[in-house]
Structures are given as structure tokens and as C-alpha cells.
Amino acid sequence: MAQRIQAGMQHVTDLKPHERDDYAKALQLLADSGIPLVAAIEDYTRAHSLADGEPLTTVVGDCRRHFKPLTRRTTLR
């Protein structure tokens, strides 16, 4: 703990070990997307509310099955 404080990581010691692990995992999952953690959580909570508690992957899968056949692609000069 003293070494972390000396290293300037006082904020890390404010979290419980499982909270720190969750935070690190969330950042890792978002790393390639470029989406900030807070923005991802805001988007998720809004979408979860709109989905009436259904898992979002289920809702997205249903939506893709329904709307993907409607997608038409064409090439324009």
C-alpha cells in the first residue's frame, strides 16, 4: 500500500480489490472501441431501459434478423 501511495496511485487504493478488477476489465473491454467508460455505461443503461430488461444481445439479434433482409446495397457512379 505504501509503495502504491509513493508511486502516486492513491486513487487505486480507494477501491476494493473486486472493484479494481471490474474497473480494469471494463477498460480492457472498451480499449479497442475508443468509447470512454462513462459513455459506454450511459449508453448501456439507456438501451437496457428501452429493452424492458431483456438482454441487449437478444434484442440486437432480433433486430438484425428482422431488418437485415431489408438492407439493399447498390453501386453508384
Please check whether residue 48 lies inside any domain of the structure: yes
Please check whether residue 75 lies inside any domain of the structure: no
What pTM was computed for the model? 0.61
Domain carrying residue 40: 2-70
Total domain count for the chain?
Answer: 1
Please check whether residue 44 lies inside any domain of the structure: yes
Per-residue pLDDT of the chain (77 residues; tens, 9 = 90+): 667 666 766 555 577 888 889 999 999 999 999 999 999 999 999 999 999 989 999 999 998 888 877 667 788 88
Please check whether residue 77 lies inside any domain of the structure: no
Please check whether residue 64 lies inside any domain of the structure: yes
Please check whether residue 76 lies inside any domain of the structure: no
What is each CA distance from 73 to 8, 35, 45, 61, 62, in whole angstroms?
54, 28, 33, 21, 21
